[in-house]
Amino acid sequence: MNHERSSEAFTQDLSFALMEHQCQNNAGLPSDLFKNISNLLQSAIKNSPPSLWSNELSRQFDVDHPLQVSLASLEKEYKMIAANPIIYSLDQILSLYNKAQRFEDLRCMLGSLAGQPADDLRPYYKIMNACGNNHNCSENDFASNDLFVSAQKLCEAFYTKNHCFVEFNITKRKNGLASLVGKYLQRFSAEKIEPLFQMRNENLKFNCEESTDAKLDQTTLTIPVFAPGMDPRVLVDILAYTEQTWTNEHIRIKFDMQTTGSSNAVQIIAMTGGISHVPSENSHLIYLNASLPISQMSKVLAHELGHVLGFPDCYIEYFDTTKKELIYYEIAEKNTNIMCTMRPGVSVPSDYFLQLKQRSCNFR
């Protein structure tokens, strides 16, 4: 689909496949809807007193308040606000912009995000919030439709919907739901949640050296870096932030700048827009959105380095092909983990450093 007709994508209930096709020839061009929403926000900021301006152009989405956005919902909300913008607050327009920004950045990747609802963590956390860490819910608690449905969804992460329906309804008649749900909570935690905080099996290895100071129990892990397209002054700042973030009393990350690329160097590729990422097929590459403010770019680079080192995202994002919705949320209990969120005050968990020393170091 050419750029002149791109607005049609927002007036129909298109499939994600067609949306991706639209992007193939216009990967770097914003959609008409996103441009309209951006203009709406700029107009609202221009006409609002400074006291109402937001310092952050990003809202945090969690398990209880996930991002759920589709082309149809964006179009509907935009038309509603655009028809009479004066009655809507700056926060409401900013919220629309943030949802549109996330969808816009991912509109050419929806196919790769499809088919992951089985990994949705919301049913697990709904039960945990109701029952506590000790699983204190009784048989009567699970007789309620809300918790019963959530418990069945835990089962559906591993088996077919029909299998889970039969198993849960038979167990319900035998008054064994609490025990059955406890079993699935344990399995879901072990197979779906714990791996989000563990280094993957095929991780890169780097040269490491123990400190020569007997009083220090610190290992330096050196990462060769090649970044030919980056502004050197910006690069110095964002690398310094990333080194500091991935350093504690036991492990220190140090970058070794390379003037030419090599097979073991991590290459930073500057982009003018889009979502920064590390390709799943090549952990030596970091695609970095260089149009971000330096403070934000620094945090993003530190996050992407986590992928280079072998740590997965610990937020949930997928495209529901049935509802044609993008679902995104962060795990609230992990809201300071830099691999889970971009909130203020993020850091690297201490056990990540232990994993690094055990699995990523080649000692000379």
The model's pLDDT over 261-315, given as tens digits with 9 standing for 90+, comes to 788 899 999 998 778 999 989 999 999 999 889 999 999 999 999 999 999 999 9
In this predicted structure, what is the pLDDT of residue 56? 46
Residue 330 lies in a domain: no
**Residue 21 tokens, joined:** 């096709």
CA separation for the pair 146, 152 (Å, rounded): 10
Q: Are residues 274 and 351 in the same domain?
A: yes
Number of other CB atoms surrounding residue 324 within 10 Å: 18
CA separation for the pair 66, 364 (Å, rounded): 46
Cβ contacts of 129 within 8 Å, gap of 6 or more = none
Q: Of 180, 197, 214, which residue constitutes the final position of a domain? A: 197
Computed on alpha carbons and rounded to an integer, the radius of gyration of the chain in Å comes to 23
In this predicted structure, what is the pLDDT of residue 101? 86
Q: Are residues 149 and 218 in the same domain?
A: no
Phi-psi domain of 274 (left: phi exceeds 0; alpha: psi -120 through 50; beta: other) = left
In this predicted structure, what is the pLDDT of residue 30? 78
Residue 324 lies in a domain: no
Residue 321 lies in a domain: no
Q: Are residues 225 and 346 in the same domain?
A: yes
Q: Are residues 227 and 178 in the same domain?
A: no
What are the tens digits of pLDDT across the range 294-307? 999 999 999 999 99
Which is more confident, 289 or 217?
289
Strands 219-226, 67-69: pairing kind: unpaired
Place of tokens 């993020």: 346
Residue 20 lies in a domain: yes
Structural domain boundaries enclosing 52: 3-59+70-113
CA separation for the pair 202, 311 (Å, rounded): 10
Q: Are residues 18 and 76 in the same domain?
A: yes
HEC secondary structure over 242-269: HHHHCECCCEEEEEEECCCCCCCCEEEE
- Among 27, 16, 101, 63, CA closest to 319: 16
Q: Model confidence at 234, in pLDDT bands (50, 70, 90)?
A: very high
What are the tens digits of pLDDT across the range 51-76? 555 544 445 788 888 889 999 999 99
Q: Are residues 241 and 167 in the same domain?
A: no
- Among 222, 217, 225, 245, CA closest to 342: 245
Q: Are residues 296 and 263 in the same domain?
A: yes
Q: Are residues 173 and 292 in the same domain?
A: no
Average pLDDT for 130-137: 84
Number of other CB atoms surrounding residue 200 within 10 Å: 14
Cβ contacts of 171 within 8 Å, gap of 6 or more = 177, 180
Q: Are residues 356 and 251 in the same domain?
A: yes
In this predicted structure, what is the pLDDT of residue 333? 62
Residue 154 lies in a domain: yes
Residue 320 lies in a domain: no
Residue 175's alpha-carbon distances to 140, 141, 170, 172, 191, in angstroms, are 9, 12, 9, 5, 26
Q: Does residue 228 surpass a pLDDT of 60?
A: yes
Q: Does residue 207 surpass a pLDDT of 80?
A: yes
Residue 322 lies in a domain: no
- Among 37, 55, 48, 59, CA closest to 90: 48
Place of tokens 């919301």: 122
Place of tokens 């609802």: 117
Q: Are residues 131 and 168 in the same domain?
A: yes
CA triple 340-159-149, angle to 5 deg: 70
In this predicted structure, what is the pLDDT of residue 260? 85
Cβ contacts of 121 within 8 Å, gap of 6 or more = 63, 192, 193, 316, 331
Q: Are residues 131 and 93 in the same domain?
A: no
Residue 272's Cβ-side half-sphere holds a number of Cα atoms within 13 Å equal to: 4
Q: Does residue 328 surpass a pLDDT of 60?
A: yes
In this predicted structure, what is the pLDDT of residue 268? 97
CA separation for the pair 13, 306 (Å, rounded): 37
Helix (H) or strand (E) holding 222: strand 219-226
Q: Of 197, 224, 241, which residue constitutes the final position of a domain? A: 197
What are the tens digits of pLDDT across the range 148-189? 999 999 999 999 999 999 999 999 999 999 999 999 999 999
In this predicted structure, what is the pLDDT of residue 115? 67
Q: Are residues 127 and 93 in the same domain?
A: no
In this predicted structure, what is the pLDDT of residue 9? 31
Residue 329 lies in a domain: no
For 330, phi then psi, to 5°, come to: -100, 155
Q: Of 173, 197, 221, which residue constitutes the final position of a domain? A: 197
Number of structural domains in the chain:
3
